[in-house]
Structure 1
């Protein structure tokens, strides 16, 4: 087992090399072990300005924000204001989706665990005012229900926006104010920004994207997504040390470093426990808790979350049994490969926990009849069409729609091969990853009803 000082030395020696290897402009990191924190950074915050990254630089944490939103909700549960199995409408009567019966049934727990079942990738921009979340919830009235509430897992940004609005209504204040008053301030965090106007007060990272496939990354055209998605992860930025302070509170049974109670005793552990199993995709956890993603590995249990915004990627991993937490924040390039090398080293060195191996296509893929999988699966932000050519090769055509087009999404064609029962996998890696595609259910004609890639994408017309 290594020491924190040895981990710091490893980062000082290796991080710059890894940034160059994976074309990551800049990264900052922090590690907690034994109640002590070390941190650091390397590279650039922007290739346009040449400003260097420091340990105090703020990066967007993307969907890691969902852990903060879940914490705000669980504070209300601790106070007896909300019950996990309360229908959302008991507290938010204006909540509407296309399926009226589902809207009346969906519970707070189902939103927290991504099992509510309505279309989850809704990124409608409803302005920058404090009423943006109220307006966002109002536009959900036409959003389709993909499956019955509680039936399965399907990652949902929109569900966490509804939770953010729930917090606003019950606290009587905008989401950002609730976040600052009930989590940021009690933790004593000094380098955290709920939007661009606050981020600019610090050394702030800029996201970087590929102008075309295979090209070196360049600064993204915009800094953040719409404020209406703030509870899901569109705005919050911070330095890694502050993210690790949040993780430490969760390790210390809901108490800040100075003893301030942020959560009731036992609530943090309750949030980390598995609530719903996930399809075995290999790039996500094995189960999901009340906000937290959970990874049951042969060498130990990890909890945490990842985040991706426009050209920025964040990773938080916590080993409750060892009291270890590590945060890695990046601003472009092959961030997943950097995460595997850097965070993987820390977890092995300090907690004797190994990251599970990434899924990969078989060396000699077998040819299969893909009839059950063929067809188009449609979501709010893309269409996915699976086809098989006369030679037996299987293809996936992804066509972006709506918000994904506005964020620079491009049409992509990928060859898939047989992986496991009812699963296909890309033959070529994308940013260091081969994302398995699971085909779930039956549309009544022998074809899969959903293509599951962490999100359940329903067959068009079914």
Structure 2
């Protein structure tokens, strides 16, 4: 497709400019077609200190783009009769057992959650993922982007095959598709050169372990990722390939849907655009499939800041698919609406592993809320709402639990008003990595009763 190469010639001007403007060390871009690679370019530094340039052969962390690989493995297992996508998973769950299809669609009832540890491999991870492995609502209903759901699918695949999940991805996905640079784990084992991961201000990230690797611990070159997106459906039975793009809307107002490891946009001419993005410490990644044009695109960067990734994606889609919805870049983001909680005071507790923490919330004029957490002095912060929540806020308050004290110094609240009381969750998190490294995101049930 020489016309595509000609149209994308502007990359040589756009990408260096974007790197200079955003401070991102490097970006790798690839476009693949049904008949093979179309374009592979890399710009900037894979390793700044060593002066090692990024090349099309450089592997990058994929973060949540890994979910598309995990979903493909589950679909292959279904085609091979090893699992039923619509059968409840075995094991004990706090609510109804979810199905693999529900988990892959982020409708298994699990909350948003992640944990990152940068301790040496010999030291234990300080957060027990199983303490947060609980459903907060019944499966099959509300969409909630959940790393834990993908890890549940990986556990199921390991139990059904007797294989480690990394070996399964290599044998079922990477080798059949010819993804030579693909790897799975907290570090890339080589032989492909790897991009060093950086904070937005240029500090190097150490190796990162987490309790949900099936949701975000993949590595690959941009060419590998583009090839995967273009050829993955060819490994599946036609009905299963169609199921990947069967994507209920993620929100009540319609828009983008989420299928099996793919964000899906239906455009007016009947064609489909599917994608998946990824972001974690030192990683911002994106894969986009344009089946109507027979093309796939991958953009990989080695900075937590998504600005460079987004700018390059905007340029590419402006050339290849102007109908691309920018919401693909942040599909799980909830839209805020004005805060309208009535005046009042609510008091109750946050339920954390092994303990409870007192919390009081008081509404104030002009959309502000006073928060009292444990023995912290009261803090006043602005609040908002969304279609799902009557209270959404973030406060500089430390939840005094061992897991939160590890690296989650802020508190988020998402609460719903029902029969006069507030219920939902309190989240311990770290707001970015301008200082230190990105920390865990730890949700806890929260219930507050109206104080008369």
Q: Is the structural similarity TM-score above 0.5?
A: yes
Which aligned pairs between 1:434-445 and structure 2 lie closer than 5 A? Answer: 442-445=417-420
Unmatched segments (≥5 aa) in structure 2? 374-378, 395-411, 428-440
Structure-2 residue corresponding to 1:231: 214
What count of residue pairs does the alignment treat as equivalent? 398
Equivalent pair of 1:27/1:53 in contact (CA under 8 Å): yes
The two structures have a TM-score, normalised by structure 2, of 0.73
Alpha-carbon distance, 1:278 to partner:
1.5
Equivalent pair of 1:280/1:286 in contact (CA under 8 Å): no
SS at match of 1:3: helix
Say yes or no: does 1:321 pair with 2:296: no
Mapped to 1, the partners of 2:346 and 2:325 lie a distance apart of 33
Structure-2 residue corresponding to 1:258: none
The two structures have a TM-score, normalised by structure 1, of 0.72
Mapped to 1, the partners of 2:338 and 2:161 lie a distance apart of 56
Alpha-carbon distance, 1:168 to partner:
1.4
Mapped to 1, the partners of 2:249 and 2:111 lie a distance apart of 19
Structure-1 residue corresponding to 2:19: 19
- Mark the CA change 1:51 to 1:108 in structure 2 (over 3 Å): closer, same or farther: same
Q: Deviations over 1:361-402 (max 9, x none)?
A: 99xx97855659988996989x9x9977745143699x9xxx
Alpha-carbon distance, 1:418 to partner:
7.0
Unmatched segments (≥5 aa) in structure 1? 90-94, 211-215, 256-261, 400-411, 428-436
Mapped to 2, the partners of 1:394 and 1:303 lie a distance apart of 39
Equivalent pair of 2:24/2:301 in contact (CA under 8 Å): yes
- Mark the CA change 1:349 to 1:46 in structure 2 (over 3 Å): closer, same or farther: same
Equivalent pair of 1:373/1:386 in contact (CA under 8 Å): yes
Equivalent pair of 1:111/1:163 in contact (CA under 8 Å): yes
Mapped to 1, the partners of 2:444 and 2:294 lie a distance apart of 40
Say yes or no: does 1:340 pair with 2:321: no
Q: 2:202 pairs with 217, 222, 235, which one? A: 217
Mapped to 1, the partners of 2:382 and 2:348 lie a distance apart of 15
Which aligned pairs between 1:169-208 and structure 2 lie closer than 5 A? Answer: 169-195=159-185, 198-208=188-198
Q: 1:268 pairs with 241, 254, 261, which one? A: 241
Mapped to 2, the partners of 1:15 and 1:82 lie a distance apart of 44
Say yes or no: does 1:247 pair with 2:248: no
Mapped to 2, the partners of 1:366 and 1:196 lie a distance apart of 41
- Mark the CA change 1:38 to 1:286 in structure 2 (over 3 Å): closer, same or farther: same
Structure-1 residue corresponding to 2:32: 32
Alpha-carbon distance, 1:353 to partner:
2.0
- Mark the CA change 1:185 to 1:63 in structure 2 (over 3 Å): closer, same or farther: same
Structure-2 residue corresponding to 1:460: 446
Structure-2 residue corresponding to 1:394: 368
Alpha-carbon distance, 1:439 to partner:
6.5
Structure-1 residue corresponding to 2:433: none
